[in-house]
Homo-oligomer: A and B are copies of this chain.
Amino acid sequence: MDTTADLFADRDTANCSIARTLEVVGEKWTLLILREIWYGSSRFSDLHRMLGCPRNLLADRLRTLVEHGILATETYQEEGARSRSRYTITAKGNDLVPAVLGLLQWGDRYRADPAGPAVITRHHGCGGTLSVQVRCEHDHHVRAAAVEAVPGPGFRTRTDPAAAGEAAPRQAG
């Protein structure tokens, strides 16, 4: 592998969508909060009881998720009770489902409880169990070794910030 004359190896790693996503959801508890909301919790106290995390962190993470439009907060009032607030997931938040189910799938495969997974995900309607897959636009099932990374329009190098599209493809796996 030629590293010295390789523009890809000189790319500006600050411009990375994985890193940008992790800035929002990569802190401790964040993805677990989303998990609880997907599983049905919506109130602060329920989330706190399910997660057992510090209350200030829960408040902080919820605030961050609402700021980024991943959660929405709404105030509601039940009969004879005072008004309370409830957190619900937005479409933007639901777009994290493939990533989180990818983590779930890996954990089920390599780190599950001896008895098996605690939770099984199914297709509501047909009941089939789920898997997270990488597909290309021609609907081929793409294995990890066949994933190729090439410079995109936002590509920049450290040395020459306008060097888009000049680097050679990189193949993972």
Partner pick for A149 among B6, B38, B156, CB 8 A cutoff: B38
Given known A-B contacts A15-B113, A95-B109, A106-B95, A138 and B126 have beta carbons under 8 A apart = yes
Given known A-B contacts A113-B154, A149-B38, A103 and B172 have beta carbons under 8 A apart = no
Partner pick for A155 among B108, B119, B156, B169, CB 8 A cutoff: B119
Quick check: A46 and B8 within 8 Å, CB to CB? no
Quick check: A97 and B140 within 8 Å, CB to CB? no
Q: Is A89 located at the chain interface by the 8 A CB criterion?
A: yes
Q: Is A121 located at the chain interface by the 8 A CB criterion?
A: yes
Given known A-B contacts A103-B99, A135-B133, A40 and B140 have beta carbons under 8 A apart = no
Q: Is A11 located at the chain interface by the 8 A CB criterion?
A: yes
Q: Which of A31, A121, A125, A164 has the most CB of B within 10 A?
A: A121
Residues of B within 8 A of A57 (CB): none
Residues of B within 8 A of A107 (CB): 16-21
Q: Is A59 located at the chain interface by the 8 A CB criterion?
A: no
Q: Quick one: copies of this chain in the complex?
A: 2
Residues of B within 8 A of A170 (CB): 38-40
Interface string of A95-138 (1 = CB under 8 A from B): 11111111111111111111111111111111011111111111
Given known A-B contacts A112-B154, A123-B136, A130-B134, A149 and B101 have beta carbons under 8 A apart = no
Cα-based distance from A144 to B152 in the complex (angstroms): 28
Residues of B within 8 A of A15 (CB): 113, 118
Partner-B contacts on A (CB < 8 A): 1, 3, 6, 8-9, 11-13, 15-26, 28, 31-32, 35-36, 38-42, 46, 50-52, 89, 92, 94-126, 128-138, 140, 142, 144-156, 164, 169-173
